[in-house]
Structure 1
């Protein structure tokens, strides 16, 4: 979407100038045919047009860059969609005309006052102040919220409008931490959603995988975290001071316990960081062993996680 914004606002850019001259041929971006010419990214931009159109609006000043029939300058969308191809004849404005081409020194030069089909559109256009050269260049506006258009592009505002919104889940504070490590958070998110390729998941694909740590045939997420003697031995020693003495090898108990810890307290942050580091390094060790590489003992694993925690905590001081 930002690239489309640049096409309308940064005409001095070398790439945008090339697009305007060779691909658009100075026609409207909304009217150019998708004939498989141009690069892969250009074809993707053309496919996004229907979704992006509602985000752009033109504030008419001199009318030299705004296409009369295709740009959204009347708040009614594409005028060609309202009138059809015959509208160019009834209103007396050519298909690729700019807004300034429909204005003279006396005002609007469009026809249609005697046409019953387009009288409402005719009156709406006459109600708009005609463009004048002394008004400066047209201003491209981007939608930031309902009925709020500003002359700046905002990725966050755009994403907030196009994304599918759902209720916030309780486990989100366990996964998405401001102090967290992105790769740790992602690997933690996978077992939270039970999307790790553990043995029970791989069985559905015809592959049998037991636990590489203890030999348990039914390797599930709940077994790996932390019913497996290997992972629980590491987790119990590291987490008992932060999570509490009543530490439990049950996965759901652990998630619930972390969710109920007081928000933003130091012990809570450390416990959640430790949990993510534990999930990440156990999964990493599991993959290492599956590829017949040297295995770590529980003591070595504890030292590695301890070092990872120190490396993360020190920059936060």
Structure 2
């Protein structure tokens, strides 16, 4: 809201965030029945990053595969024995996925297959890498000389979720959403609209609907209230009023931002009241709207 919007989530970005969590489940040790089934029946012994999008695959699986580039920006591996980490595709060095660092010619240059895991690139003598023939190969070998060599007796590889250079042991929906969502500059006028106006206006609306007091700490709680049933106010009226309130606040926001015109809570409520009455009367012959005008005017 302090960026000038209504505080509503962009559903496309929200869906991306939740889909990324499904990808995270495939890499962490989460005891998910879905994750176990996918690893056993879809991934098997292959690498997630090299899975092919087959025509007979489910829509969900195809959607997850299409998000691999987005997921690689967050997923990173802390190498132990090297059995789970892909040499080319996982992020385990400062260079990001090595397949991007070297380019398509990388596997041929180093003689390492694209489906290789780190454990297959080391032996008792060290890293099985040819002499550096490019700046990228030289930078990689310099880095590898400064890290511990993976060995079979070490702990399993651990995957972390990194958001804005903060390494997390578990997926964070909030931080991932904040990282992905589009942002805008902080607007100084928002405190006047969303605090001064909206709180007073909301108090007036709640009293008109027959409630003594009512507040919400999240949009989810607000949405749950709109879909619930109680003996005080019909669900249809609550939804109608909510739509009208949001529209009125957005209209006020635009007036203040673009036209340098502001209205008091009382003026906004008067226009809101007229808008709700008109909406109800226009649908008065519908079953759910027959008694709404009387209900709306009960506490006027």
Give the TM-score normalised by structure 1.
0.61
Match of 1:179 in 2: 215
CA contact (8 A) 1:2 1:153 kept: yes
CA contact (8 A) 2:43 2:51 kept: yes
Distance 1:296 1:68, change over 3 A: closer
Deviations 1:140-187 (A, max 9, x none): 11123x221121111111111111223253423355888144446555
Match of 1:165 in 2: 183
Match of 1:254 among 264, 274, 277: 264
Match of 1:301 in 2: 296
1:193-212 to structure 2, matched below 5 A, reads 193-194=250-251
Q: Which runs of 5+ in 2 are unaligned?
A: 1-19, 203-213, 217-221, 227-240, 253-260
Measured in 2, the distance between the counterparts of 1:151 and 1:191 equals: 43
Distance 1:91 1:41, change over 3 A: same
Distance 1:285 1:15, change over 3 A: same
Matched, 1:67 2:86: yes
Measured in 2, the distance between the counterparts of 1:175 and 1:131 equals: 58
Match of 2:249 among 186, 192, 199: 192
Distance 1:30 1:295, change over 3 A: same
CA contact (8 A) 1:71 1:78 kept: yes
Match of 1:151 in 2: 169
- Displacement after TM superposition at 1:4 (Å): 0.8
Q: Equivalent residue of 2:50, what SS?
A: coil
Larger Rg: 1
How many residues are paired up? 232
Bigger shift: residues 46-55 or 68-77: 46-55
Q: Which runs of 5+ in 1 are unaligned?
A: 196-250, 259-273, 307-317
Give the TM-score normalised by structure 2.
0.64
Measured in 2, the distance between the counterparts of 1:91 and 1:38 equals: 33
- Displacement after TM superposition at 1:21 (Å): 3.8
- Displacement after TM superposition at 1:296 (Å): 4.9
Matched, 1:47 2:66: yes
CA contact (8 A) 1:285 1:295 kept: no
- Displacement after TM superposition at 1:27 (Å): 2.5
* RMSD of aligned residue pairs (Cα, Å): 3.6
Shift >6 Å, 4+ stretches:
277-281
Deviations 1:19-53 (A, max 9, x none): 23443343222222333442111121122222221
Measured in 2, the distance between the counterparts of 1:127 and 1:158 equals: 31
CA contact (8 A) 1:175 1:185 kept: no
